[in-house]
Chain A
Amino acid sequence: MATVVIMPRQGQSVESCVITAWNKKEGDTVAVGDVLFSYETDKSSFDEAATVEGTLLKCFAEDGDDVPCLEPVCVIGTPGEDISNIAPAAAEEAAPAAEEKKEEAPKVEAAPAAAEAPAATAASTDGFIRISPRARLLAERTDADLSKAVPTGPNGRIIERDVNALLDKGLTNLAAARAAEDAPKAEAAPAAAPAAEAPMFEDVKLPNIRKVIAKSMHASLSTMAQLTLNASFDATELLAYRATLKANAEKLGLSNITLNDMVLFAVAKTLKNHKDLNAHYLGDEGIMRYFNNVNLGIAVDTERGLLVPTLAKADTLSLNELSAQAKELISGAQKGTISPDKLKDGSFTVTNLGSLGVESFTPVINPPQTGILGVCTITRKVKEVGGKDVFYPAMGLSLTFDHRALDGAPAARFLKDLCANLENFNLLLAK
């Protein structure tokens, strides 16, 4: 009966041993205690001695071979014995050791859809907003409206990704302030009860929109290089055309086109040739962003304060279309029903104080736009026509521009072109 000599396991972590030397070769007679072969682990060397006597019938490994532990190394028996059934496992299966039972790569589960928005937002019951320093820094830099943040961090903490989510939705404080003041009536309940003794003054908490306007206007004046150019044009033709429109409005199905609409129309058309004023100056990023269309901001005086809805692609509209859309925007702003989406992305702004009798002023630019046009009242001026002094209606225009973005001459050229277009409004319509 043949005896199989296996590679001993020298310790739990040993997987295989290297045979360093054979002391016996196939066919040698072996006595008990004879060293058959020497082998080593990565730590130590050992001698394997025979525990039975007989003849070394077969060696399965040679010097230097790396033999897995517990695998047959050689066979001792009587010459002629059938040992064909004995063979190391490695020889039977074609090198399975290398294959390693690789665990099925776990099916990558489709990452679960974004966590369902928890009902609660950031402000917890104690009024304390839990937010990571990194998220706070990002929010400060981007003006993100943290009150709308949906915290997904541990313990209801707002983390960076939650601020990024706000920004993706355009939820900034500015947008909120301009849009969200739609239930002011309740707050503005008039204090009907007469005070027993009239106090010297009354402290009224600033509404948020006031704070936002204050911040924005101050930032505008303190960061830009603003200056204003004043000019006027002869509004004779404009007024005449307006009179014609008014007379025929019903008949032609036109909306009530105002002088302001006509100015807006002229501005939109003129800006097409003055791209520096239909642009955003993004100094921090080192770029000027030129707009392909004119998105005209219209400054609207509302009960709550200044709002600037945007007339998108104003340059593509007919006078009638423009007038209708502007009315809708202005009315929305005044009622407070306007969508916040319509309060952003303006490329140039027009503000009109003419109806209040202002003859010239210095409008403040809405950053990062590069200019704003102030429309003033109509006064009577004199000009010499054919050697005679002639009175004519003159409408004032005050253009404030950002000298960082463009120089005085290009701004003046815009103003000149605008005046020309307004003086020849019929021609402009024909263009």
Chain B
Amino acid sequence: MPKSQYVDPGKVFEPGFIKFNDIPVCQYNKTLEEEKALYTKEDMMRIYHDMRTIREFETMLNEVKTKSAYNGVEYNNPGPAHLSIGQEASAVGEAYCLDNNDLTFGSHRSHGEIIAKSLSSIHKLDDAELYDIMKEFLGGTVLSVVEKHMPETDVKVLAKNFLLYGALAEIFARTTGFNRGLGGSMHAFFIPFGLMPNNAIVGGSGPIALGAALYKRSNHKPGIVIANSGDGALGRGPVLESFNFSTMDQITKLWGMDGKYPDGGMPILFNVFNNSYAMGGQTRGETMGFDMAARLGAGFNPDMMHAERVNGYDPFAVIDAVTRKKELLLAGKGPALLDVVTYRVSGHSPSDSSTYRSNEEIEAWKEADAIAAYRTKMILGGVATEDEFNAIDEDIINRMTTVMRLAINDEISPRMDLTKDPEAISSIMFSNEKVHSMDPSREAEMLVPKEECPRVKEIQGKIRTATDANGKPVSKMKMYNIRDGLAEPIIDKFYDDPTLIAYGEDNRDWGGAFGVYKKMTEAIPYHRFFNSPISESAIVGSAVGYAMCGGRAIVELMYADFMGCAGDEIFNQMAKWQSMSAGILKMPIVLRVSVGSKYGAQHSQDWTALVAHIPGLKVVFPSTPADAKGLMTSALEGTDPVIFFESQRIYDKGEEFMKDGVPEGTYEIKIGDPDVKREGKDITILTIGAVLYRALDAAKTLEEKYGISAEVIDTRSIVPFDYTKVIESVKKTGRILIVGDAVERGSIMKDMAANISELAFDYLDAPAIALGSRNWITPAHELETAYFPYPDTIIDCIHEKILPIPGYVAKHNFTDVEKIERYKKGV
């Protein structure tokens, strides 16, 4: 909502038509003679070699899956193998145009792209550079195997062996694979060749590739990004969100800030390897209505995403199209969309019996096989002889057989030994690094010096405690509150880390829906701080891609309830890439989500349990300004993905616990360290989030009215979590109630109660009790006291489940009978 753009009622109703340009469909028609002028014989033979290498690699896997042997070498591979036999020309054609600055992302069916892009890079890199890459990768683990067992003086041939072995060892889950065997067939990648992670979630790479393009765009880096997918991925919301995100007007209209910064569109090509089938569903004619995938481009921007449909069985047609798209992208005219028509002769997986297509169809496509056709065309056109092609074939088959023998040898290519090193995977779940700036070589691009940032000035004038020297409450407008605690470290990081970007809905002019980013717009340029479309998948997924490229991002989803819209991006992408890459990738992302109240069932949920359940995410939920600042600082210094919960109930809270107020300088609070907010001796109340203040009210009543002294501990973090302080407290008090605003069933409170019962069993005078909200929808604000834990609920629960208070009459029913009844009914 920039004020500079005027929505004029006098114009928006003007009559007219939306005009579309023609979308080219298989328009490539150069003759071999024309092609000979563009490509040398070596180029043409290389294209054949690369296609043939992919074919052999996939054939080998197919043989292993279906016959447990390839070329006489026996092996059983229980893991997946989604093969791309038939699609080789498309992969090689695309890779032919790319260099090391260009990044590709793929799908579950990307062995072909891995091989094609790597062979292209091997061809283009000079020997010294190539050798250094191999030597440095994973401390030379992969290289040492091929150097020892496939000695080779030609660096490019050595690199070919390196590529085939590293990829196959990865597929066979060996520690000598490209990702130490932790990624596997569907997630293999090799960043030094610009080969970014492939994704087992259909369409998963859409938003991630967008994030990589955003990294290039916001950090002015060379090269383009290609998001490869199948046609089935076009049914996925995150992919369509990414199309939209990459075409948004502001990139070309606002990000340049009138010439202050480089201009141009998003440098991304969405490349669809259109093989007609989404597993078995036929996209054209059955599961989609677009007829031809290229048509989608017309819906996203006036450039129609420069969409085009090309013949993916002709490598020259693909090279021609990708070359043109790359030029457009480098000229700042992105994004682009290619619909590369191809066919998967092999099944979706080796267990596919092709019940959804006729044998006749498969045979016809085998007949039209791109590799055989290419070979015939070259021979007939006098480019090379039958023998020359046979020699290439033979070399590939021999090389593949040797590579396979190495990759299945348990001594040369061992699997991870979790008996000897049981914590091997634990050690890569988080990177746990501290990196102040992701790119210390650059200055951060900012519009004004820090001292002139309006928010910095505003915070300077604020009182950093909740009460003044006389104990009187400080006026809300003058008090340093949780918003300020969050903003301070974010602003600092914007000035210190040039890669930091922040985006989400209404982040810029509005200042974030809850005012955390207020008065920051004046200080931060658009390309580092912008309003995103309402596209949660694209918001989170792009942050993942941004981080993979070496940047740091803070993304915001407004309400925590909207995490559901970004489910895959949070649960499968953000959480898993550090460990699936065996620690090669870092994921410095802070995902801010806010827990609402007063806004009913879809805007009031505390979903800490959902993210805590997913290994690989850190989860924090501060409740005081000082904790918000310290934890945000830690989250932004770190290299792990942090889900940062905030609460709309308490953004206004001042600092009530630190006598001298929120410290002015930079400081970190260790993620995982709970904090005793009130000392006591009779019962411990452990709180998650905003309920802290209701627990303190309950503690006050317990003390004043019933002589029960309650110790209140704020968890502050959820993952990781250090139980030491809590157990110490329970040893003292013998009783504990864990309270949070999430619904009770399956909550973090339940999880913590179970852990505390286990860890402090002998010291407990009553079971560790979890108190959450009822297992209902959140009702209207006026009814919330019956739903969320309030001080009276807390005291009732203590009275009924832990420590009966003489003469006390509870209003809430916490009896065992009632509990069994509720669970029986599922409420």
Contact = CB atoms under 8 A, between A and B. Distances in A.
Physical interaction between A and B? yes
B259 to A, nearest CB: 28
B706 interface: yes
A108 B704 contact: yes
Contact of B477 (A13, A66, A115, A157): A66
Contacts of B483: 42
Contact of B766 (A66, A137, A159): A159
Interface stretch (A128-136, A236-244, A335-343): A128-136
Contact of A43 (B475, B518, B706): B518
Interface stretch (B239-247, B507-515, B575-583): B507-515
A154 B766 contact: yes
A112 B734 CA distance: 23
Nearest to A155: B816
B745 interface: no
SS class of chain B's interface: helix, strand, loop or mixed? loop
Given A159-B766, A160-B734, A111 B801 contact: no
A132 B806 contact: no
Nearest to B648: A13
A111 B766 contact: no
Given A43-B514, A44-B511, A154 B476 contact: no
B455 to A, nearest CB: 12
A17 B515 CA distance: 14
Q: Which of B598, B651, B734 has the most CB of A within 10 A?
A: B734
A114 B807 CA distance: 8
Contact of B476 (A42, A98, A108): A42
A286 B806 CA distance: 38
Contacts of B24: none
Interface string B77-89: 0000000000000
Interface in B711-765: 734, 761-765
A132 B730 CA distance: 14
Q: Which of B478, B514, B764, B800 has the most CB of A within 10 A?
A: B764
Nearest to B514: A43
B700 to A, nearest CB: 11
B804 A42 contact: no
A109 interface: yes
Q: Which of A15, A43, A153 has the most CB of B within 10 A?
A: A43
B707 A157 contact: no
A12 interface: yes
B707 A111 contact: yes
A98 B804 CA distance: 38
B652 A42 contact: yes
Interface in B647-665: 651-652
A115 B806 contact: yes
Contact of B803 (A44, A155, A159): A159
A69 to B, nearest CB: 12
Contacts of B800: 154
B766 A132 contact: yes
Interface in B685-724: 704-707
A16 B511 contact: no
A152 interface: yes
Contacts of B707: 111
Contacts of A155: 816
A66 B511 contact: no
Given A18-B477, A44-B510, A112 B766 contact: no
Contact of A66 (B478, B651, B806): B478
A134 B733 CA distance: 10
Interface in B466-525: 472-473, 475-478, 481, 483, 510-512, 514-515, 518
A51 B802 CA distance: 61
A157 B478 CA distance: 52
Q: Which of A66, A112, A154 has the most CB of B within 10 A?
A: A154
A106 interface: yes
B806 A112 contact: yes
Q: Which of B481, B598, B761, B763 has the most CB of A within 10 A?
A: B763
Given A42-B476, A66-B478, A112 B807 contact: yes
A114 B707 CA distance: 12
Contact of A106 (B477, B518, B705, B801): B705
A293 to B, nearest CB: 37
A161 B804 CA distance: 11
A38 interface: no
Given A43-B515, A112-B806, A154-B802, A133 B764 contact: yes
B510 A108 contact: no
A161 B704 CA distance: 20
Nearest to A131: B765
A16 B476 contact: yes
Contacts of A16: 475-477
Nearest to B816: A155
Nearest to B510: A44
A159 B805 CA distance: 13
Contacts of B514: 43
Nearest to B651: A42
A192 interface: no
Given A44-B510, A98-B472, A108-B704, A132 B807 contact: no
A19 B545 CA distance: 43
A91 interface: no
Interface string A146-171: 00000011110101110000000000
A157 to B, nearest CB: 7
Interface residues of A, number: 33
A134 B760 CA distance: 10
Contacts of A17: 477
A67 to B, nearest CB: 10
A15 B475 CA distance: 10
Interface in A37-52: 41-44
A115 B705 CA distance: 15
Given A115-B806, A154-B800, A42 B763 contact: no
A219 B806 CA distance: 40
Contact of B763 (A111, A113, A133): A133
B511 A43 contact: yes
Contacts of B801: 154
Q: Which of A41, A42, A112 has the most CB of B within 10 A?
A: A42
Contacts of B475: 16, 66
Contact of B764 (A42, A108, A132): A132
Nearest to B519: A45
Nearest to A14: B476
A135 B765 contact: yes
Nearest to A98: B472
Contacts of B511: 43-44
Nearest to B481: A42
A109 B705 contact: yes
Contacts of B477: 16-18, 42, 66
Contacts of A159: 765-766, 803
Contacts of B734: 132, 134, 160
A153 B765 contact: yes
Given A42-B515, A42-B518, A106-B705, A115 B476 contact: no
Contacts of A137: 762-763
B807 A115 contact: yes
Contacts of A111: 705-707, 806-807
A159 B477 CA distance: 49
B110 to A, nearest CB: 45
10 contacts: A41-B515, A42-B477, A44-B510, A44-B511, A44-B515, A66-B478, A115-B804, A133-B762, A157-B766, A161-B803
Interface of B: 472-473, 475-478, 481, 483, 510-512, 514-515, 518, 598, 651-652, 704-707, 734, 761-766, 800-804, 806-807, 816
Given A42-B476, A42-B651, A108-B704, 15 more contacts: A13-B652, A18-B477, A42-B481, A42-B652, A43-B511, A111-B705, A133-B764, A134-B734, A134-B762, A152-B804, A153-B766, A153-B803, A154-B804, A157-B766, A160-B765
Closest 10 interchain pairs by CB?
A43-B515, A112-B807, A115-B806, A134-B765, A132-B765, A66-B477, A160-B765, A134-B734, A159-B765, A18-B477
